[in-house]
Amino acid sequence: MKDWLKKIKASLSLQELEDIRVDLLGKKGVLTQQFAKMKTIPNEQKKEFAQNLNKQKSDINQEIENQKTILMAQALQKELEATKIDVTKFTPDSATAAYHPVMDTMDKIIRYFQNLNFAVEDGPLVEDDFHNFEALNLPAYHPARDMQDTFYCKDSMVLRTHTSPVQIRTMQNSKPPIRMIAPGTVFRKDFDITHTPMFHQIEGLVVEKDGVVSFANLKFVMEEFLTYMFGDVDVRFRPSFFPFTEPSAEVDISCIFCNGKGCRVCSHTGWLEVLGCGIVDKNVFDAVEYKNVSGYAFGLGIERFAMLIHKIGDLRSLFESDIRLLGQFR
């Protein structure tokens, strides 16, 4: 028996330990066979024989359990060592760290509009009612406020639900002509495969003195921009509604997954909606006291662009901080 205990202690793997257990306690195991001998033992010796065997069995089980614990700890240690990351160590890999696809897409869009002489503007994430709603022709109780699931803070402040308030701030702080984009974080109370409570938008605004800005200007710039982002796609303007623009349009590109033939991603329509835009509503100019001007505006979700460009299926994967996602974008 001592030899068996030694053998157990010396076992180097869980498999080896299991083999020993079977040799001893399996159907044809050494100890199992001893138990089978019980029948042949004279009655007066049975008790002692049984006690002895049971003791051996329990010693062996005990030893197997001990050894199992040790081997499992060793296996874990090995695994930990194999997957250990020293975050302080410089490796050649550090030089090829990846840009997050959302930031990468944001940069690409910013660069495009900077080349057209658009300034990049910024605004607060915690916004007041006037800038987020009122000045954008969304007065209190306007039904269109329901389009945006707002996070409310104290004192009628909100987490901005879009980047459009930066339009208002920019117009308040400068004079026409204006050409600006405003990239940034926005917040809405929404969470499913296509919505996260925090996401990113880019807003665009062009304002000129007098009535020189037309829908044709807007259409041209959007078509050029979308061709730059998505390559050779068809672009379609669909009449729509936004409180801050009139007329308004939603813009679709032909589906980049099926070339417009119809597939699951485009819900078999052949088209993918990518942005909203329109001619700035007069009420918006009134709110910032601009007179005799004309302009167009547009707004888009950066995650949507990133997902289409990189063919990412689930929006939430962009925010799970799984380093393997980034690894794919080296």
Indicate whether 132 belongs to the interface with ligand DAH (CB under 6 A): no
User: Torsion angle of alpha carbons 262, 112, 119, 147, nearest 10°?
Assistant: 10
When CB distances to ligand DAH are compared, the closest residue is: 299
- Cβ atoms 200, 185 nearer than 8 A: yes
Residue 243: name the closest of 329, 137, 315 by CA.
137
**Hey, what are 306's tokens?**
């990133």
Which of 11/167 has CB closer to ligand DAH? 167
Exposed / middle / buried, residue 175 (Cβ in 10 Å: 0-12, 13-18, 19+): exposed
Which member of 118, 187, 225, 298 binds ligand DAH (CB under 6 A)? 298
Among 164, 170, 254, 294, which residue interacts with ligand DAH (rule: CB under 6 A)? 164
Work out which of 11, 245, 254, 294 binds ligand DAH, going by CB under 6 A: 245
Distances (CA, A) of 5 to 20, 69, 234, 323, 328: 10, 15, 77, 46, 51
Residue closer to ligand DAH by CB (options 184, 278) is 278
Please choose, out of 114-122, 152-160, 274-282, 286-294, the segment that lies near ligand DAH by the rule CB under 6 A. Answer: 274-282
Q: What are phi and psi of 250, to 5 degrees?
A: -105, 145
Q: By CB under 6 A, name the one of 297, 302, 315, 318 that touches ligand DAH.
A: 297
Q: Give the DSSP letter of residue 140.
A: T
Residue 247, classed as helix, strand or coil, is strand
Q: How far is the CB of 285 from ligand DAH (least distance, A)?
A: 14
The phi and psi torsions of 248 (rounded to 5 degrees) equal -120, 155
What Cα–Cα distance (Å) separates residue 160 from each residue in 145, 146, 149, 182?
Answer: 12, 14, 10, 13
Region from 15-23, 59-67, 222-230, 272-280 binding ligand DAH, contact rule CB under 6 A: 272-280
User: Contact, 163 vs 131, CB < 8 A?
Assistant: no
Of 67 and 148, nearer to ligand DAH (C-beta) is 148
State the nearest-atom distance from the C-beta of 288 to ligand DAH, in Å.
14
Distance CA 304, CA 112 (A): 17
- Tell me how many residues contact ligand DAH (CB under 6 A): 11
CB of 220 to ligand DAH, least distance (A): 16
* DSSP conformation class of 143: G
Does the protein bind ligand DAH through residue 21 (CB under 6 A)?
no
Find the binding residues for ligand DAH in span 173-232 (CB under 6 A): 203
Q: Please identify, using beta-carbon distances, which residue of 63 and 127 lies nearer to ligand DAH.
A: 127
Q: Does 299 bind ligand DAH (CB under 6 A)?
A: yes
Of 4 and 215, CB closest to ligand DAH: 215
For residue 300, what are the β-bridge partners?
A: 202
Binding characters for ligand DAH, 50-89, by CB under 6 A (x = yes): ----------------------------------------
Binding site for ligand DAH (CB under 6 A): 162, 164, 203, 242, 245, 276-278, 297-299
